[in-house]
Amino acid sequence: MNKIETNLKDCYILEPKRFGDERGYFESTTKESLEELGFSRIFQVSNSLSGKGIVRGLHFQKDPYCQAKVVRCHRGAVLDVVVDMRKDSPTYGKWTSVELTPENGRMLYVPRGFAHGFVSLKDDTLFEYYVDNLYKPRMEGGILWNDPALNINWNQIFKQYGIEEPVLSSKDKVRVGINECDVEFNRRPRKFLITGFKGQLGYDIARELEERGETDYLALDIDEMDITDRDQVMRIVTSYKPDVIFHCAAWTAVDKAEDMKDKVKAINVDGTANLTDASIEVGAKMIYMSTDYVFDGKKEGLYKETDPVNPMSVYGETKYQGEEEVRRNPNHFITRISWVFGINGNNFIKTMLKLSETKDKLNVVDDQVGSPTYTRDLSNLLVEMSYTNKYGTYHVNNDGYCSWAEFADYIMRSNDKKTIINPVTTEEYLELTGTKQAYRPRNSKLDKSKLVENGFEMLPSWQSATDRYCKELSRKKKY
């Protein structure tokens, strides 16, 4: 493939090599050639059909669903027009145009952070897009096609190609100019730091970043950075200078915490304070994972983010104290999660499936009610949050509620297991097993409506999450 530079930084005209004879020609575009440009993957292929004089653009998607595109014309002809919207780019606010036809075989690589559009030069023009990220209608954006600040010579273009009157959608006619646009794209990749990388959530956040084309991240666990070591934390964070810190490291052994309060505090409170101080020092956003255990579970109905907390365990108390530390950084997200399961660690689903191989019947409590949380779904939302400034405290779980017994029963039935789930009260379970437990909230129903109110999507149902997770488990044979 021949790669031709344009006047815009990182934007290229592509000419696949054609091999032909009197019958026609053959050409290929390889995955490797696209990756060399910075195009991470083909997420979808889209086509549009346009008559002569139709103008589409200038469009983009907001982060974190910003898209790179490779575009071409299969029938007819277009003049493709793109604008560099990356604030730190040497060609910010500048534009270029390229004629694309089936005859010249040219394609245009449009990086993330560009606004894209075209004018169709012939009737019945078929235009094709290869895009590297998910399409989200709620993340659509654009700038005014004839914004005077861009100085695109549309009148000259229309005259050159014999277009008397351009045709635009009603939405494209009224978009804002580039100087009024509140979306900020940058050429410099964002930098992310993840603590607790070997846990379920830290592992999936790294996967999520990779799949979005974000490769500049530092994923650490205790052997690389002990968050209770203040000097080490400050040294690593100030050296790497992340834009975002995903703080997943924590003491999560709820029962053992009761007898190890000082150690749990050192990790969940002091360690979080160290990271918060470091995040403030480098100006990083702080994303902290909290828990339903900050509530006592005695309320009727759903818990809102504004409800008073009343942790009844060492774990819950130290996680809430961690929240208070994080709030010192004004650019913070606190996400209260519960009943977490992911591929890279132990969890309730793995335990149930393993026990089903040897047990005909299991006693599971049915008076503790909450929402399971799949780390794949959660990491998707957390990364999306990290691109925004919609700071604050959020309740984040998969949609719907169930008891532990209902959760266990669904796991068995959906995996064709014969093990019977016997619902019992917490008191009955403790008596039957002869175990001692830390206090657990009976009602962990968290109100998640704040997510939607702030423009985020509700996570899928816990049943859907369980099904998808179990499919991944079966492929990896992880339990």
Active site residues: 315
Q: How far are the Cα atoms of 61, 150, 412, 428 from residue 352, in angstroms, in the given order?
A: 41, 60, 8, 19
Cβ(244)–Cβ(391) below 8 Å: no
How far is Cα 143 from Cα 57, in angstroms, rounded to an integer? 8
Cα angle 408, 447, 438; round to 5 = 55
What is the 8-class DSSP label of residue 185? B
Asked if the peptide bond before residue 64 counts as cis, ω within 30 degrees of 0, the response is yes
β-sheet bridge partners, residue 81: 97, 117
How far is Cα 241 from Cα 245, in angstroms, rounded to an integer? 10
How far is Cα 231 from Cα 267, in angstroms, rounded to an integer? 15
How far is Cα 345 from Cα 368, in angstroms, rounded to an integer? 23
| 321 burial via Cβ count (<10 Å: 0-12, 13-18, 19+) | middle
- Which tokens hold the place of 216? 């500049």
How far is Cα 170 from Cα 180, in angstroms, rounded to an integer? 19
Cβ(250)–Cβ(340) below 8 Å: no
Main-chain phi, psi angles of 16, to 5 degrees: -60, 145
Cβ(95)–Cβ(81) below 8 Å: yes
To which H or E segment does residue 135 belong?
none
Residue with tokens 């009761």: 258
- Which tokens hold the place of 92? 């910010």
Burial 411-448 (b: 16+ CB within 10 A, else e): bbeebebebebebbebeebeeeeeeeebbbbbbbbbeb
Asked if the peptide bond before residue 378 counts as cis, ω within 30 degrees of 0, the response is no
